[in-house]
Amino acid sequence: MSAEMAARCLLLIWMAAGAALAFQAEPVYRARDGAQPAKVLRRVEPRYTPEARREMIQGVVVLEVVVDAQGDPARISVVSPLGFGLDERAIQAVSRWKFEPGTRDGRPVSTVITVEVNFRLFRHRFDEASEARRTAFNLAVDEIQRNRRTPQTLAAIRGLAQQKYPPAMYLYAKMLESGDGFERDAETAFRLIVEAADRHYPAAMYEVGRMRMEGRRLEKDPERGLELVRNAAVLRDRRAQFFLASAYLGGDGVARDVDRAAQYFRMCAAEGETPCQVQLARILLDRGDERGRVQAIAWLELAAERGNPEAALVLAEQRAPLSAKEVSWIRRIKPQLIRN
C-alpha cells in the first residue's frame, strides 16, 4: 500500500470514527425536556411466530424507541415483553416504521417514545382487562429497573396489588418487607405473599413452600412445602428449580437422586441460569457416555459465553479432543437448549 493510499485510509477511518462519535453525542430528548415527541407516519404489521400461534398467545409488546432527527428508529428496547418470539417480531416490525421526527425549539431532534405492538388471533377471545394489568405492571417494573421510578410508579404497583394481580402483590410485598419505596410492614408483606401463593404465583409459592418445609411463620409441613416448591419449579421459578436440583444432588431433606437433580438443573439451565448449566454439565460428564459429554460441552460453552468462570475452567479441561462431527453437533444444538 502506498503512503498516499494509507493516508487516505487513515482519513476515512478518522472521519467514520468522528461521525460515530457525533452520532453517539447527539442528545436524545423526552417530553419532560420540553420536546414534542415523534409521531408514527407508517406502520408495518408484525408476523406471528409458529410457537405463539400454536399456544394461542395474544397481548401487547411495549417498546421504547429512540427516533432520530430523520424520523427513523435508531434504537429499540423491550419494555413489556410477551415471549414466544413475539418480542423479536415486534422489534422487526417497528424497525421498518416511519416517523415524523420529534422537535425541540422548532428543529428536528432525537426523541424517545413508547409504542405498543398488538398481537391478536382471529376468532379467539382476548381478555383486555387482564392484558392491561400485565402491561401496567411491566411498565412499572421497567421504570424501577431503569432507576426512573416516580410516585406514580409506586402507586401503580400498590393499585395493581389491591386489584389482586399476583405479580404486583408479590412485588409490593417484597417492597413492604424491605421498606423500599413504602413504609416497612412485615405483617402485610407476609399476608400478601401467602395470598399470592394461593393464587399460584410461582415466586410466592416457592417462598411459602420453604416456610412450610422449615416451619418459619407457618406450621411445619415438609411434604406440603415440598409440593409447593415442586409446583413453583414447574411454573418456571428458577429459585425453586435450583433449590430442588441441589437438594436431590446432595440428598438434603430428600432422598439423593441424581437423575431428578439433572431434571431440575436442566429446567433452570434452559432458562439461562449459568450455575445450573455448569452443574448439569458436571452430571452429564460424570455419566461417562460420549453423547452426554458432547451435550455437557454445549452447556459449558453457553455458560462460558455468559461469563461464568467455572464453566471456562471445566471447558478447558474437556474441550479436546473433539471430532469435526462433534463440533458441528455442539454448534447445532446450542440454540435449541435455551428456552425462549
Residue 168, domain CATH: 1.25.40.10
Read off the pLDDT of residues 38-52 as tens digits, 9 standing for 90 and up. 999 999 999 999 999
Q: Give how many domains the chain has, as a whole number.
A: 3
Residues 119, 137: one domain? Answer: no
| Closest C-alpha among 310, 258, 319 to residue 284 | 258
Helix (H) or strand (E) holding 135: helix 128-145
C-alpha cell at 111: 426523541
Domain assignment of residue 253, yes or no: no
Domain assignment of residue 240, yes or no: yes
Q: What was the pLDDT predicted at 320?
A: 66
Read off the pLDDT of residues 219-242 as tens digits, 9 standing for 90 and up. 999 999 999 999 999 999 999 999
Residues 230, 139: one domain? Answer: yes
Distance CA 16, CA 10 (A): 10
Distance CA 224, CA 236 (A): 19
Domain assignment of residue 12, yes or no: no
Domain assignment of residue 49, yes or no: yes
Give the bridge partners for 66, in sequence order: 75, 112
Amino acid at 54: R
Q: What angle do CA 65, 66, 67 make, to 5 degrees?
A: 105
Cβ atoms of residues 79 and 112 within 8 Å: no
Domain assignment of residue 38, yes or no: yes
Residues 232, 280: one domain? Answer: no
Domain assignment of residue 186, yes or no: yes
C-alpha cell at 78: 423491550
Q: How confident is residue 340, by pLDDT bands cut at 50, 70 and 90?
A: low
Residues 144, 117: one domain? Answer: no
Residues 208, 307: one domain? Answer: no
C-alpha cell at 45: 404489521
Domain assignment of residue 315, yes or no: yes
**Once rounded to an integer, what is the mean pLDDT over residues 270-283?**
96
Where among 123, 154, 181 does a domain terminate? 123
What SS3 class is residue 70?
coil
Q: How confident is residue 122, by pLDDT bands cut at 50, 70 and 90?
A: confident
